[in-house]
Amino acid sequence: MGKRSYAAGEAAKREICSALKALMAQKPLDKITVAELMRACGMTRQHFYYHFEDIYAAVRWMFDEEALALLRRHEGVMLWQDGLLQLFRYLQENRAVCLCAINSISREDLKRFFQNDISAIIGNTVRGFAGELHYPADERELELMTKFYVGALTGIVEDWLLGEIEESPEELIQFTDRFLSNHLAGARLRLAGGIWRSQL
């Protein structure tokens, strides 16, 4: 009974968010009412509050289920490119909805939202490469390296979505991969020459 109830609840959330995406493609988020949204998906207004606190909570759930799940499925050293590429493609396919969210939700809130999952994947990647190289980095250095790459990637994703970067998702992934590879090549050379990092 519990599993069926959970499945029904998840299905209702997806139905609500599907209607929300359609409305977000037409108007700003602050012009969408709960009553209008629930009419669009054939449910009562009260039913909305059984699942979400407000429309902004529904938007966050939608991105978490649809966009960030793509990243989580690709955690690992060799698969981060695929996860990030799928995230770009999701944003591309849902550009109107994502732009509506950017213009309606605090940009810092939205950035933190994406950073959390990008950080988990990049952190695993950095640690994996450090292990392969036997790079003598302590936890603080690994955290700083992760923050550096996450900040860069999050900025690229946001700028691309806003139309400030013209390159395709594939080109951006290739650029990021080359940048990371060059960094690692430099680390290999320093290790081969016996040159260790300076203390932070």
pLDDT at 200: 42
pLDDT at 39: 95
5 vs 149: which has the higher pLDDT: 149
CA 94 to chain centre: 13
Beta carbons of 172 and 160 less than 8 angstroms apart: yes
Rounded-to-10 torsion of CA 135, 143, 146, 195: -30
3-state SS, residue 128? helix
Tens-place pLDDT, residues 96-151: 888 888 777 665 666 666 666 677 677 777 777 677 666 666 778 778 888 888 88
pTM comes to: 0.70
| Domains in the chain with CATH codes | 1-52 (1.10.10.60), 55-192 (1.10.357.10)
What phi, psi does 118 have (nearest 5°)?
A: -60, -40
Mean pLDDT, the chain, as a whole number?
A: 78
CA distance 14 to 20: 10
* Token output for 118: 């990008």
pLDDT at 108: 64
pLDDT at 17: 93
Tens-place pLDDT, residues 56-71: 889 888 887 887 666 6
